[in-house]
């Protein structure tokens, strides 16, 4: 495997949406492949027909693509190892199960569901691990043939010899040893002829020349079965890396009950894909320093499996929020513009036609103050329409008996400026304050209130500049009429 470019895969069972844990698995695979110039493969593990969900695969691919995780091979793409949907590969698996039977490493079993249920019941009563009792191995070749000829339903099971050691070398966990006493004679082919996850997974990883199996910790306990399958079939064992669990802040396993787990939920909430990917990358990995802000390139350059932790990773939404703000700030106004327009199209201002120039100025003035793009609208509605209301508290605090006269003076200076540049507004305001013999603040607060209805926002001269001379004059006049009346 030395000098070989890695081939890694994300192998989800389509459940209808992409779980953030799935995104983390996909991302680590993707980063690993890109870091080493290898291939990232998407394989859909849809052999459980009871779990079929309409549109699930499309949805999953959509979410992956939105995050920027484009796969090199997978459904809808031609690849040397197609098809990439296990339901389209069903004829492949039986052959290998039969090979295992011929080697004595698997066997036909004809147990009725009733017998298996009873067996389980008895084992539970004895406080034993529930395991198949290998009864089918007592059948003679002839008995097996007769049953098969008679069309009796059967499964094919893995023949695990008890009392053996199975070693799993894991990049993240080191050497993990299992005793085969606890490994069940796993069903490989079900009575409906479909392979189980274990069978299809190993066969496909082999046929698709997967070099590294990077997946969630919940699969570690299945790995001894996989290792046995590789050994029995005489195949090279891939490198394993089992990623730590994702936890809620209370250290319980991340679940739907505590909040959103689907990538599409985060997308709908207005998180940037860059922030979500950055956040998810840090769920179990760091580069060995305090750096937390990463763009895609940096993640690819810095990622390594060796630096993935064993212990569970806490899913902390506050950090995601912080990263979202950071990623917004790392973008230029031009990059933010289309995202901003999308939000405007979904807002009450969708029918207004704001110029790009106006919107770009708003972005520049507000970008430091937001966590979500939609806050460009929510936090500064005054850029889109004149205020109807004036913040009550600010009026009480800032609107003194002398304010109207002072503002009238300011108004007369504003009327004289010939552009809406920040400098012109600034000079006019300073001049008014000076001639009135008052501090600038005595004008700045009331004029902010007058033009925006609010006591907070971007710098006052940014605000005036963005609104423009005419609008500012109009709004001051309106405020002079409305406030105190
Ligand atoms: N189909 C399994 C899942 O849904 C894949 C596990 C693996 O990567 O082997 O997660």
Q: Give the CATH number, domain containing residue 454.
A: 1.10.10.350
124's enclosing H/E stretch is helix 113-125
CA angle 139, 141, 143 (to 5 degrees): 60
In the reported structure, the alpha carbon of residue 37 is separated from the centroid of ligand 1 by a whole-number distance in angstroms of 23
Return the residue whose CA atom lies nearest to atom 5 of ligand 1.
11
DSSP label at residue 74: S
Active site residues: 256
Q: Note the pLDDT of residue 258.
A: 66
Q: Which of 212, 243, 274 is a domain's end point?
A: 243
Q: What pLDDT score does 138 carry?
A: 97
Tokens of 90: 């069903």
Residue 53: inside a domain = no
Q: Write out pLDDT tens, residues 168-183.
A: 999 999 999 999 999 9
Over residues 318-370, the pLDDT tens digits come to: 999 999 999 999 999 999 999 999 999 999 999 999 999 999 999 999 999 99
Pocket probe mutation, ligand 1, options 199, 219, 223, 241, max atoms within 8 Å of Cβ: 219
* Ligand 1 centroid distance, CA of 226 (Å): 12
Is the pLDDT at 257 greater than 70? The verdict is no
CATH number of the domain enclosing 192: 3.40.50.620
Q: For residue 139, how far is its CA from the centre of ligand 1 (angstroms)?
A: 34
pLDDT for 4? 82
Q: Which of 243, 261, 295 is the last residue of a domain?
A: 243
Q: What's residue 484's pLDDT?
A: 75
Q: Is residue 285 part of a domain?
A: no
Confidence of residue 92 (pLDDT cuts 50, 70, 90): very high
Rounded to 10 degrees, the C-alpha dihedral 263/267/270/275 comes to: 60
Residue 84 placed within a domain: no
State the pLDDT confidence band at 253, using cuts at 50, 70 and 90. confident
Angle at which helix 20-35 crosses helix 56-66, to 10 degrees, equals 60
Residue 53 banded pLDDT, cuts 50, 70, 90:
confident
Where in the sequence is the domain holding 108, given as residue range(s)? 89-243
For the CA of 205, the closest atom of ligand 1 is: 9
Any domain includes 356: no
- 215 Cα–ligand 1 center, Å: 7
Residue at 255 is within a domain: no
Strand ranges inside 255-330, DSSP E: 313-314
Rg (C-alpha) for the chain, rounded Å, is: 32
Q: Ligand 1 pocket check: which of 7, 21, 197 to mutate, most ligand atoms within 8 Å of Cβ?
A: 197
Count of residues in the chain: 485
Domain boundary, last residue among 223, 243, 263: 243
Please indicate, yes or no, if residue 281 is contained in any of the structural domains: no
Q: How far is CA 268 from the centre of its chain?
A: 12
For the CA atoms of 242, 248, 253, 256, the dihedral, rounded to the nearest 10 degrees, stands at -110
Classify residue 197: in a domain, yes or no. Answer: yes
Mean pLDDT of the chain: 96
What is the tens place of the pLDDT at every residue in 357-400?
A: 999 999 999 999 999 999 999 999 999 999 999 999 999 999 99
Residue 79: inside a domain: no
Number of domains in the chain: 2
pLDDT tens digit string along 132-142?
999 999 999 99
Residues with CB under 6 A from ligand 1: 11-13, 45, 197, 201, 215, 219
pLDDT at 89 over 80: yes
CA of 223 to the centre of ligand 1 (A): 11
The widest CA-to-CA distance across the chain, in whole angstroms, is 112
Pocket probe for ligand 1: among 215, 237, 246, the residue whose CB has the most ligand atoms within 8 Å is 215
Distances (CA, A) of 12 to 84, 206, 220, 242: 11, 17, 16, 15
Nearest-CA residue for ligand 1 atom 3 is: 12
Cβ neighbours of 3 (radius 10 Å): 4
């Amino acid at each position: 495997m030395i000098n070989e470019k890695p081939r890694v895969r994300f192998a989800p069972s389509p459940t209808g949406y992409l779980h953030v844990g799935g995104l983390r698995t996909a991302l680590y695979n993707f980063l690993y492949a890109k870091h080493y110039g290898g291939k990232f493969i998407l394989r859909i593990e849809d052999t459980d027909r009871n779990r079929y969900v309409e549109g699930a695969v499309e949805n999953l691919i959509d979410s992956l693509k939105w995050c920027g995780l484009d796969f090199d091979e997978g459904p809808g793409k031609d690849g040397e190892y197609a098809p990439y949907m296990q339901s389209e590969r069903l004829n492949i698996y039986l052959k290998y199960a039969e090979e295992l039977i011929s080697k004595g490493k698997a066997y036909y079993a004809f147990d009725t569901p009733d017998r298996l249920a009873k067996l389980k019941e008895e084992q539970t009563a004895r406080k034993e691990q529930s395991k198949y009792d290998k009864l089918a191995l007592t059948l003679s070749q002839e008995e097996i043939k007769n049953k098969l000829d008679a069309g009796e339903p059967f499964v094919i099971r893995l023949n695990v010899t008890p009392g053996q050691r199975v070693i799993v070398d894991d990049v993240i966990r080191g050497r993990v040893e299992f005793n085969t006493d606890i490994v069940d004679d796993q069903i490989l082919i079900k009575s409906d002829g479909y392979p189980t996850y274990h069978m299809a997974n190993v066969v496909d990883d082999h046929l698709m020349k997967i070099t590294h199996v990077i997946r969630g910790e919940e699969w570690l306990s299945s790995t001894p079965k996989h290792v046995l399958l590789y050994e029995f079939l005489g195949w090279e064992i891939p490198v394993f890396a089992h990623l730590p669990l994702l936890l809620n802040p209370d250290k319980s396993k991340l679940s739907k009950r505590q909040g959103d787990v689907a990538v599409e939920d985060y997308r709908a909430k207005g998180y940037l894909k860059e922030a979500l990917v950055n956040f998810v990358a840090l769920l179990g990995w760091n580069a060995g320093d305090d750096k937390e802000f990463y763009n895609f390139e940096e993640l690819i350059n810095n990622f390594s499996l060796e630096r993935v932790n064993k212990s569970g990773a806490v899913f902390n939404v506050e950090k995601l929020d912080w990263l979202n703000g950071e990623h917004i700030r790392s973008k230029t106004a031009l990059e933010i513009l289309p995202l901003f327009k999308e939000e405007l199209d979904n807002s009450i201002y969708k029918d207004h036609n704001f110029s790009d120039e106006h919107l770009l100025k708003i972005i520049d003035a507000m970008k430091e103050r937001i966590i979500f793009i939609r806050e460009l609208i929510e936090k500064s509605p005054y850029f889109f329409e004149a205020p109807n209301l004036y913040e009550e508290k600010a009026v009480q605090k800032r609107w003194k008996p002398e304010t109207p006269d002072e503002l009238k003076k300011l108004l007369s200076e504003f009327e004289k400026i010939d552009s809406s540049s920040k400098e012109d507004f600034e000079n006019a305001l300073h001049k008014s304050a000076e001639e009135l013999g008052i501090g600038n603040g005595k004008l700045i607060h009331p004029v902010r209130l007058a033009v925006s209805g609010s006591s907070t926002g971007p710098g006052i001269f940014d605000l005036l500049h963005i609104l423009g001379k005419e609008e500012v004059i109009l709004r001051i006049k309106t405020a002079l009429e409305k406030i105190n009346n």
